[in-house]
Structure 1
Amino acid sequence: MEIGKIPIEILNKHVFESKITRDDVLLGPDIGEDSAAVDIKGDIAVITTDPITATSYMAGYLSVVVVCNDLAAAGAEPVGVLSTILMPPESTQDEFVQILREIKEACRRFNVQLLGGHSEVSPVVTKPLIVSTGFGRVQKDLLISTKGAKAGDKIIITKTLGIEGTLILYNKEKEKLREVLTPQEITEIEDYINRLSVIEEGLIARKYATSMHDITEGGLFGAIYEVCKASKKGAKIYEDKIVLSSSVKKVSSFFNLDLYRLISSGSMLITTNKEDILISELKGKGIECCIIGEIVEDPKIEFVSSNGKSILIDNFPVDEIYKVV
């Protein structure tokens, strides 16, 4: 494609034809429109932004998921996304259109409006770069802050760790991994694309959580580090309380990665003093979860391994995914 803005005729066909699907969205993407308009009717507006840099696999879809998950971690219902897509000159129109298809598929799936964005071909990027901004809404009394964790809170994680990282790694070395995974594990991993969202658990947990954090870059260790630093508290986590999928363990072992430092979109970390009712509601919706430890007053983050050895988490970890991708 030629350097410069994506041609209007391509956007007309693949973006501007999309109808507004939410009543609270008043102005959406169109020719010459550089802004969107949303009627929040007294709620709190929650806004977030994130790039996709670790993978090209389903990058458009993931670009919507990651910002919606950030919104859900604040207790907000995702409303819309704006997507900036920068394409290198050697890319094709088909590659650009595929990214748009993935973005629109995620928007349909999660009832999110594509509000607009920007797209162009630029020599400053060597592969497609997607940066999405997510917009959500929440009642003031349901807004959740990362810094809200309190001593005595239980730490809950949903689903299994490593969902996103395992999916990325599997699609990078699919043929080799098929030799070590069982048919059931392969089926499970191929379905992980459907388990990346934490919107449902976020909207359930906001009634009971003191803090929430979707487990993304840096994995479990990154998420608990940020929660504790924001809250000025510490934590004690027990490895033998963490429920892990065999497929996640096998893939991490294949690449010799620490899965506790592996990007894990699809799993939410929740701190709460109402763990019984929260777990009951989550499991009632078919969302697996487990208590893995508790928040403590001493601002020290301790991970007790299954062999009884303690590890201190005293900095934000570099994600294990970057050893491979």
Structure 2
Amino acid sequence: MVGKVDQETLARVLAGTGASSTVLGVGPGYGEDAAAIELGEQTLVISADPISLAAERIGTLGVNVACNDVAASGGDPEWLTSVLLLPGDADDAMIDAIVADLDREARSLGATIVGGHTEYVDQLERPLLSLTAIGTTDRFVPTGGADPGDRVVLTKGAGIEATAILATDFAAELDVPDDAVSAAATFFEEISVVPESRILGAHATAMHDPTEGGVLGGLVEMAHAAAVGIEVERSAIPVRAATEQLCAAAGVDPLRTFGSGALLATLPEAQVDETMAALDDADIEAAEIGRVVEREQPGIELDGERFENAPRDELYALWE
């Protein structure tokens, strides 16, 4: 089996680990992007994420998925630790490419790689990268803060990360024109959600970085974290033409696959117009896609179809 453990298994893991701390503001929980540690007037925000399957540009993905979780919690990512596990036959070219990616992406975000670990593991067929991102904020925004009546906003579009992966790792297997593949590969440059997080974080009641399981999975996690329902319409969710084209060729639903590069946020209705205008002024695409409602059983409704569990990411089938 590949991918995140199910909600019940995660609950069992979390119940069996951890220790109390008087400065822990937000700890581990289903759907939560990061932990919050209260340090006086500032909150320390910490998150960790692995990249275990994508082969190309894993440094780019690794830095951004870790920093995105800090940003989606209202923080500015400042420091990173990097754990890089390499196949036993990894050559200098592979190592140099990953290191160059890591350095370039960290610098572009103003973050510093302050430590980590690197080793060879003969049992690996591809490199495995795990980064921990650390930042600070004076307004922590949880995944689970959505209130009934809030509106749901999505930046950029669904399947941004998956589109980039398809264009690099699987291009040879897809019946897609070369120009579409080239355009889709540029989506790696849009994986960061730090800019929109800074705008949305001023008023958002909740923010979430939809990674594995895509926008649909991210919405389910937000609903469970806040114990609410979320109603959305597929037609309201932006999907770029390149994403539609590559996902169709791969047999993947853009709403159910890796979504880094987009940011989900819930906003009080009174703040939507002002916030959308600010995003537009910053040349950040965004759309209002749904609303938060009261529900006894948390979950989402997509065009009337109910989802109480996050879907398995449909891109995994291509690696199996």
Q: What TM-score range do you get, normalising by the shorter chain?
A: 0.7 to 0.9
**Alpha-carbon offset, residue 180 of structure 1:** 3.5
CA distance 1:182–1:294, change in 2 (3 Å): farther
Residue 281 of structure 1, aligned match among 278, 282, 305: 278
The answer for the alignment partner of 1:70 in structure 2 is 69
How many pairs are equivalent? 278
Residue 239 of structure 1, aligned match among 215, 234, 240: 234
Q: Say if 1:162 and 1:265, in contact at 8 Å, map to a contact too.
A: yes
Query: For the residues of structure 1 that align with 2:99 and 2:41, how far apart are their CA atoms?
Result: 32
1:324 is the counterpart of 2:281: no
Q: Say if 1:151 and 1:296, in contact at 8 Å, map to a contact too.
A: yes
Aligned residue type for 1:323: A
1:160 is the counterpart of 2:154: no
The answer for the alignment partner of 1:204 in structure 2 is 199
Q: Say if 1:239 and 1:303, in contact at 8 Å, map to a contact too.
A: no
**Alpha-carbon offset, residue 130 of structure 1:** 0.7
**Alpha-carbon offset, residue 75 of structure 1:** 0.4
**Alpha-carbon offset, residue 128 of structure 1:** 1.1
Q: TM-score, normalised by structure 2?
A: 0.83
Residue 312 of structure 1, aligned match among 306, 309, 312: 306
1:193 is the counterpart of 2:191: no
Aligned residue type for 1:314: E
**Alpha-carbon offset, residue 77 of structure 1:** 0.3
The answer for the alignment partner of 2:87 in structure 1 is 88
| Structure 1 gap ranges (5+) | 1-39
The answer for the alignment partner of 1:104 in structure 2 is 103
**Percent identity for Structure 1 against Structure 2:** 29
Q: Say if 2:88 and 2:123, in contact at 8 Å, map to a contact too.
A: no
The answer for the alignment partner of 1:180 in structure 2 is 176
Residue 259 of structure 1, aligned match among 254, 259, 279: 254
**Alpha-carbon offset, residue 175 of structure 1:** 4.5
Q: Say if 1:220 and 1:262, in contact at 8 Å, map to a contact too.
A: yes
| Structure 2 gap ranges (5+) | 1-38
Compare CA radii of gyration and give the structure with the larger one: 1
Query: For the residues of structure 2 that align with 1:269 and 1:163, how far apart are their CA atoms?
Result: 13
Q: Say if 2:233 and 2:289, in contact at 8 Å, map to a contact too.
A: yes
The answer for the alignment partner of 1:21 in structure 2 is none
The answer for the alignment partner of 2:49 in structure 1 is 50
Residue 170 of structure 1, aligned match among 158, 167, 172: 167
Partner SS for 1:320? coil
Query: For the residues of structure 2 that align with 1:66 and 1:312, how far apart are their CA atoms?
Result: 28
Listed one character per residue, the Cα deviations across residues 218-273 of structure 1 (whole Å, up to 9, x for unaligned) are 10111011111010001100112122211111111111111111101000000001
Aligned residue type for 1:225: V
Listed one character per residue, the Cα deviations across residues 255-303 of structure 1 (whole Å, up to 9, x for unaligned) are 1111111101000000001111111111110000001110101145343
CA-atom RMSD in angstroms: 1.7
Aligned residue type for 2:255: Y
Query: For the residues of structure 2 that align with 1:67 and 1:105, how far apart are their CA atoms?
Result: 15
Query: For the residues of structure 2 that align with 1:192 and 1:145, how far apart are their CA atoms?
Result: 27
Query: For the residues of structure 1 that align with 2:310 and 2:238, how far apart are their CA atoms?
Result: 23
The answer for the alignment partner of 1:301 in structure 2 is 299
CA distance 1:106–1:41, change in 2 (3 Å): farther
**Alpha-carbon offset, residue 215 of structure 1:** 1.2
**Alpha-carbon offset, residue 193 of structure 1:** 1.3
